[in-house]
Amino acid sequence: MPLIGTPSIPLDFCDEIVSLQISPDHLINAMLANPHATCGARNPTASISSSNSSPCASIPSDCARDTTRPGPARTRPDYTIKGSDGSGFNDRSPINALPSIEDDQDVCLLNDPKARNFIDAECLQDPTSMFPFHKERGCNEEVSKPRTWRGLSKSPRRKGGTTLASYLPRQLRLRGQPRVMTEATPFGSAQQLVTLPERQDELDTSNVLREVRDNAEPSDKEASLLTKLGKEFRKNYCPRETPPLVLPSAPSEEEKYSYVDMSRRLLFGCVGLAFLAVAAGTILFARSSPYYCWFIVYALITEIWLLASLWIAVFGGKFDVPAHNKLVQDFPLTEKGAPTVDIYLPICKEALEVIENAWNHVAALKYLDSRLAVFVLDDGGEKAVQSLAERFHFNYICRPNRPELKKAGNLRYAFHQTSGDFFAVFDADFCPRPDFLLETVPHLLADEKHAIVQTPQYFRSSPSQTWTEQGGGMVQEYTFRIMNPCRDKWAASLCVGSCAVYRRNALDPIGGTMPVETSEDIHTGFYVLTHGWTIQNICLCLACGVCPDTPSAFFAQQYRWCHGTMHLAISWKFWKSNLNIQQKLCYAIGFYDYPSTAIQAFAIHVASPLVLWTRPDLFKYYNFLFALPSILVGVFAMKFWARGRYTLSAQYVTILVSYAALQAFLDLVRGRSMGWKPTGRRGGQAHKNQRYQHMRLLAWAWTITHNAALLSACAYRGATGLAWYNYAPALLINAFNLLIIHRFLLYQHPKD
């Protein structure tokens, strides 16, 4: 009958392991590097069977922490060691229940490599606990026959056929090489045979220390500057592990009213100054030489767009909180007056943690139970989601015509399966406040012309998020805190799909949302406005979500938004519609936002090298004062204006928006479209697309080209007499632009 024990390991080896401060991963990797058996003796055939399927399921009891030593106790797995006669015992058997051990039955068990997940820094306090061999006796007997081992699971580090020899650590061999024989069969289909050495005197630890010293990463004090920079680069730009998921929660009471105060004076005082500086500089540049007259076209369109945006933002409406509170009180949601409301939760293979987190908030919505129904619209068709919906007591719908019309098709199918007077839509990540319906439904009751009540899509920004999550939420604040409330004055508010409540009667003629694959929300909002309905904007943050966590996912999202928006902009049905001038102007400004951003990514880099090569006499240091206010607004003014945390991540994502818009325009011209996939899809599948990689290559090419043109021009003109201080500001601004684009060029998310 076998017995479990630990070996006698030289104390100097233990002391050196501790003194080296080696991490457990490095030590275990060194131990598992070479596949050889370690020791054994004559014994009947034995096997280990486990009732626990966890990675630590077969860890011998001596590998668990000794409860007589200080520190937290460890949970030991349930396993049983059986002899050839069928008898056996497990690690929970009392000591007196163990059979007597004879010399010829002494056994040194093989170290189970699955214990590597069980060993942590505490084991280093007593390294002998990691070696489950018998303490008292050596294994000095000759092996009379091969030993058969059964029941070992496949190694997590290997695929396909695996042998017992591949499990065993090279460094734990004893003096006298063990002879290993294995059957070349897949694990589980046949037994593994191990022949143990004839003589085993003592544990050879020199190889362990040598391998650990060779493979362990140097400490921060010992590492060279180049090594430190490399580690920092990998950490920030090529992380090996996906950053932890940051789940949202419903907005707090303070966050609920954070968008009410628009602080327009601060923001547009700074923006107005930047606008005047850019306009003056652009006009002077275009007039300075016949080479630059073409620049007037870009300048004229951009300045008109900026001026119109400022006009709407300055003279637009403002949300009236007292009037809203009075309306809510005048239309209480009682048993008699409360309409029926359906909650639509469209999902498609998003992370289950995100879905469950959002549904916990949906389940907490305050409304009459008899008038509320929740519907899960699963375009992924997953059993796990269906089980989760049953646990929440939500209705589950999985349409048979997937993936027709993508999200719009999902919503339209649910529209025909439900019958509520109103329906609210929440994307998979949005967490509504309990009072969401209490704050929105009264507006639909107060005015029967309201087809949609839209609330802001609120996003938090925290250091634990990726830079795309942070930046994406920051840029959305301007839309929902400034533009949408201002547009409401002219009944031109945007419908953005999620976090909105819809009137069923308004959408009955078209069978739900508009039947388009991308930006169905914009098209639906346009439809209701052209058919005599209105969109009411409520500037209260009643739900919080998360932005895409990878650059390619954010790129895909912005691509869809741009493609769908511009598809409406170039259609005659918009320009021939019955919208008034103010409404069309509001929509047109939103339409031009994307092409302006796309052109700006290239146009701003042309002026400096062009002037240096063609008219160096015009290249003066004070010319760059025209661009300075715009930089200060983007970096500092927005930081003071923003309610949330504002960092350079907001500038980083504008580059993604620029190239996504450019790709969308190219596809519109060619009559193509990128296949739609949800941005939150699990496993990174939604984030891999060729268009993102193509735009990234284009960004690399353009960055190298305009930097080469500028640097060569500076070097040439400097050598021919141009004072260095005249082109130094150009180099500083170029360095800032490199800082803004470098994330797009260098960052590689693990999902990508």
Residues 31 and 128 in one domain: yes
Residues 530 and 619 in one domain: no
- Class of residue 19 by CB neighbours under 10 A (exposed 0-12, middle 13-18, buried 19+): exposed
Give residue 467's pLDDT band: very low, low, confident or very high (50, 70, 90).
Answer: very high
pLDDT at residue 236, as a whole number: 84
Q: Within a domain: residue 630? A: yes
Q: Within a domain: residue 236? A: no
Residue 55: CB atoms within 10 A of its CB come to 15
Residues 389 and 504 in one domain: yes
Q: Within a domain: residue 91? A: yes
Q: What's the mean pLDDT in 540-566?
A: 94
Per-residue pLDDT for 476 more than 60? yes
What's the domain range around 117? 11-208
Q: What angle do CA 294, 297, 303 make, to 5 degrees?
A: 135
Q: What secondary structure does DSSP assign to 524-569, as a single string?
A: HHHHHHHTT-EEEE-----EEE---SSHHHHHHHHHHHHHHHHHHH
Higher pLDDT, 170 or 671: 671
pLDDT at residue 750, as a whole number: 83
pLDDT at residue 228, as a whole number: 82
Higher pLDDT, 683 or 696: 696
Residues 634 and 665 in one domain: yes
Cα–Cα distance, 324 to 447 (Å, whole number):
13
Q: Which of 660, 652, 621 is nearest to 635 (CA)?
A: 652
Per-residue pLDDT for 127 more than 60? no
The identity of residue 519, as a single letter, is S
Give residue 678's pLDDT band: very low, low, confident or very high (50, 70, 90).
Answer: low
pLDDT at residue 596, as a whole number: 87
Residues 602 and 516 in one domain: no
Cis peptide before 290 (omega within 30 of 0): no
Contact 131, 203 (CB under 8 A): yes
Give residue 661's pLDDT band: very low, low, confident or very high (50, 70, 90).
Answer: very high
Give kind and range of the element (H or E) at residue 477.
helix 467-478
Q: Within a domain: residue 623? A: yes
3-state secondary structure of 294: coil
Q: Within a domain: residue 239? A: no
The region of weakest confidence among 201-205, 579-583, 673-677, 678-682 is 201-205
Per-residue pLDDT for 451 more than 90? yes
3-state secondary structure of 703: helix
Residue 627: CB atoms within 10 A of its CB come to 21
pLDDT at residue 122, as a whole number: 36
The structure tokens 């002037």 sit at 611
Q: Which of 393, 394, 396, 398 is nearest to 381 (CA)?
A: 398
User: Which DSSP state fits 681?
Assistant: B
Residues 275 and 325 in one domain: no
pLDDT at residue 221, as a whole number: 58
pLDDT at residue 468, as a whole number: 94
Q: Within a domain: residue 586? A: no
Q: What's the mean pLDDT in 596-604?
A: 89
Contact 520, 410 (CB under 8 A): no
> Do β-strands 372-378 and 395-397 pair in parallel, antiparallel, or remain unpaired?
parallel
Q: 468: domain CATH number? A: 3.90.550.10
Residues 623 and 708 in one domain: yes
3-state secondary structure of 18: helix
The region of weakest confidence among 394-403, 500-509, 589-598, 697-706 is 589-598
3-state secondary structure 39-94: CCCCCCCCEEEECCCCCCCCCCHHHCCCCCCCCCCCCCCCEEEECCCCCEEECCCC
Last residue of a domain, one of 180, 208, 236: 208
pLDDT at residue 304, as a whole number: 85
> Do β-strands 47-50 and 395-397 pair in parallel, antiparallel, or remain unpaired?
unpaired
Last residue of a domain, one of 528, 547, 566: 547
pLDDT at residue 251, as a whole number: 97
User: What is the pLDDT of the chain when averaged over all its residues?
Assistant: 76
Q: Within a domain: residue 286? A: yes
Residues 292 and 172 in one domain: no
The identity of residue 644, as a single letter, is G
3-state secondary structure of 748: coil
Cα–Cα distance, 653 to 475 (Å, whole number):
8
3-state secondary structure 362-422: HHCCCCCHHHEEEEEEECCCCHHHHHHHHHHCCEEECCCCCCCCHHHHHHHHHHHHCCCCE
* Whole-number percent of the chain with pLDDT over 90: 51
Residues 89 and 25 in one domain: yes
Backbone angles phi, psi at 108, to 5 degrees: -110, 110
Per-residue pLDDT for 465 more than 70? yes
Cα–Cα distance, 432 to 250 (Å, whole number):
5
Q: What's the mean pLDDT in 244-252?
A: 93
Q: How far is CA 70 from CA 23, 119, 317, in A?
A: 21, 16, 67
Give kind and range of the element (H or E) at residue 208.
helix 206-215
Highest mean pLDDT among 295-299, 362-366, 493-497, 681-685: 362-366
pLDDT 10s digits, 19-53: 444 444 554 554 544 444 333 333 333 333 333 33
**Which residues have CB under 8 Å from 743's CB, separation 6+?**
237, 467, 551, 652, 655
Residues 149 and 86 in one domain: yes
Phi-psi region of 491 (alpha: psi -120 to 50; beta: other; left: phi over 0): left
Half-sphere exposure of 544 (CA within 13 A, CB side): 20
Residue 50: CB atoms within 10 A of its CB come to 20
The count of structural domains within the chain is: 3
Per-residue pLDDT for 702 more than 50? yes
pLDDT 10s digits, 144-195: 333 333 333 333 333 333 333 333 343 333 333 333 333 333 333 333 333 3
Give residue 207's pLDDT band: very low, low, confident or very high (50, 70, 90).
Answer: low
Per-residue pLDDT for 202 more than 90? no
Cα–Cα distance, 431 to 426 (Å, whole number):
8
Contact 551, 744 (CB under 8 A): yes
To the nearest 10 degrees (0 to 180), the angle between helices 649-670 and 690-719 is: 110
Residues 163 and 282 in one domain: no
Q: Within a domain: residue 182? A: yes
Q: What's the mean pLDDT in 95-112?
A: 38
Q: What angle do CA 449, 453, 459 make, to 5 degrees?
A: 165
Per-residue pLDDT for 333 more than 60? yes
Residues 348 and 308 in one domain: no
Last residue of a domain, one of 170, 190, 208: 208
pLDDT at residue 637, as a whole number: 92
* Segments of 468-516 assigned E as strands: 500-503
Per-residue pLDDT for 737 more than 80? yes
The structure tokens 């009958």 sit at 1
Give residue 296's pLDDT band: very low, low, confident or very high (50, 70, 90).
Answer: confident
Give residue 218's pLDDT band: very low, low, confident or very high (50, 70, 90).
Answer: low
Global pTM?
A: 0.72
Q: Which of 118, 375, 426 is nearest to 250 (CA)?
A: 426
The region of weakest confidence among 42-56, 265-279, 605-619 is 42-56
pLDDT at residue 219, as a whole number: 58
